[in-house]
Amino acid sequence: MPPLARLPTHPAVERRRPIDPADSRDVALYDELPLWSALAGQLLLEHVTLASRRSVLDLGCGTGFPLLELAERLGRGAHVVGLDPWAGALARARSKIDRWCVPNASIARGNGAAMPFEDGAFDLVVSNLGLNNFEDAEGALRECRRVLQPGGILGLSSNLVGHMREWYAAFARVLEAAGDRAGLERLRSHEAHRATVPSLGARLEAAGFRVTLVRECQAVMRFANAEALLEHHFIRMGFRPAWEEIAGEESLAAVALELDRTAGESGLSLTVPLAYLEAVPA
């Protein structure tokens, strides 16, 4: 595979290091609203049932999204709690609650599969790009069922199979051309781990929910070229390590060349299909 020879040599690039989720300086920069969380968060905020909601849980709230947004949109008649095991992110969410003076938001540290809340504590539980990333999503869904009141609503957003399909198609072409069958196998199973609307629905039903609302959209992430994509800090943090595990760092250089070759004059457009589902206890 050709190396990514076009990487710029620049002092800032030389200083790059892995992003450390335990380092507060890195956590403070995690507020990924423009690029990532906001893609799904907009869909969630557009459709989530707000009327008559008084007691809300944001499961996997990270640095405070949509925890604070929901607390402010619901106003003082409601209280929103964020739950997450990530101490550094919660410290960041706490500082937003304090600095923005949002009295109806609070945080709790814990695991969604063993929540520190009483039965029926909430009338709305939301999770933005959260539950689909949990190790024990089934356990967390069972807990959602337990902590929801009768008539309560669970609202989940997730990216779907087909996520960045242009990147994965170029990746597959490169592996095919190299005859790397094992790499292709790893690529296919990596792509297939993402949810579909039917698989999300089946998961919810298996946990004792009935789906009441499905909304889908296709977000688009644009880059001038594949090098810019691979160098973007959030891509380096959230996606590149998994891509490197599939076929090694050098194969990414070949994928980048392949992607640029097929991208056309207007640069890269990567499709991100997203869904928001609401469900009630069946």
Give the Å distances, CA to CA, from 275 to 41, 103, 105, 186, 272.
10, 30, 26, 25, 10
In the block, residue with structure tokens 């920069």: 29
The type of residue at 167 is W
Residue closer to ligand SAM by CB (options 93, 153) is 93
Please give the helix or strand (H or E) that residue 119 lies within, else none: none
Shortest Å, Cβ 64 to ligand SAM: 8
CB-based contacts of 269, cutoff 8 Å, min separation 6: 166, 220, 221, 222, 263
Shortest Å, Cβ 39 to ligand SAM: 10
Residue closer to ligand SAM by CB (options 62, 183) is 62
Chain CA centroid to CA 115, Å: 21
Shortest Å, Cβ 128 to ligand SAM: 4
Q: Which residues bind ligand SAM (CB under 6 A)?
A: 37, 41, 59-62, 65, 83-86, 89, 111-113, 128-130, 133-134
Shortest Å, Cβ 55 to ligand SAM: 18
Residue closer to ligand SAM by CB (options 42, 55) is 42
Shortest Å, Cβ 139 to ligand SAM: 8
Task: Determine contact, residues 112/60, Cβ cutoff 8 Å.
Answer: yes
Q: How far apart are CA 67 and CA 22, in angstroms?
A: 21
Residue closer to ligand SAM by CB (options 86, 171) is 86
Residue closer to ligand SAM by CB (options 153, 156) is 156
